Structure 1
Amino acid sequence: MKTSELTGTLLDYWVARSEGTVPTADAQLKFMPSTAWAQGGPIIEREKIMVAWNASEWIAGVTDFVDRSEGHISKGPTALVAAMRAFVTSRLGDVVSDDAQVAVDRKSNG
């Protein structure tokens, strides 16, 4: 699954994985950094993620300050979505496993 297409609970799941945790269903219900500034904001600040409006969409970028040639730019309908996509891409790459979809679907279906 392309990181650039992650949204909602699935994006939040991969943000958690990028943070080094495998969230339980209960934890996932409370962790929503792609929609809650109180959760996504600290990640943006800590990772020094650049966020800007680009006429029709939000863009966000993460730069590896050790190797300045490595940058990760993502787009999204909101600043948080763009920033969390950039964060996941910087940690896990442009593609993540589809296996998480099963866990997210199970949680959503109760």
Structure 2
Amino acid sequence: MKTDELAGSTLDYWVARAEGVEPTVDQQLKFCPSSSWTDAGPIIERERIMICWETDHWIAGAAEFANSRKGRIVKGPTALVAAMRAYVMSRFGETVEGQ
């Protein structure tokens, strides 16, 4: 699955994996960084994720990833979706397998 297309619970699952957690169904219901600033805020701050509005969508890039040769900015319908896609991409690359 393309990282820049992840959304909803699938995106939340991959953010949890990036955080070093193998989430259970119960944990997934409590950890929703793609829609909760409480869950995503600390990640955005710690990872120095850039978020910006661009015409009709949000864009984001993780500092570590943006500085690499593979650096890429990702889009999203919301600031949190864009930021969490950028975070997952910085950890796993352009595609993820499973879940």
The TM-score with structure 2 as length reference comes to 0.93
Letter of the 2:14 counterpart: W
The aligned length equals 98
1:107 alignment counterpart: none
SS at match of 1:41: helix
Matches within 5 A, 1:1-110: 1-64=1-64, 68-70=67-69, 71-97=71-97, 99-100=98-99
Structure 1: state its 5+ residue gaps.
Answer: 101-110
Q: For the aligned residues, what is the CA RMSD?
A: 1.5
Letter of the 1:86 counterpart: A
Instruction: Provide runs of 4+ in structure 1 moved above 4 Å.
Output: none
SS at match of 2:72: strand
1:35: how far off? 0.1
Percent of paired sites with the same residue = 61
| Residue pair 2:35, 2:80 contacting (<8 A) in 1 also | yes
Structure 2: state its 5+ residue gaps.
Answer: none
Letter of the 2:59 counterpart: I
Q: Deviations over 1:24-78 (max 9, x none)?
A: 111111010000000011110010000000011000011228x934423111000
The TM-score with structure 1 as length reference comes to 0.84
Q: RCO higher in 1 or 2 (8 Å CA, sep ≥ 6)?
A: 2
The answer to which of 67-76 and 88-97 deviates more is: 67-76
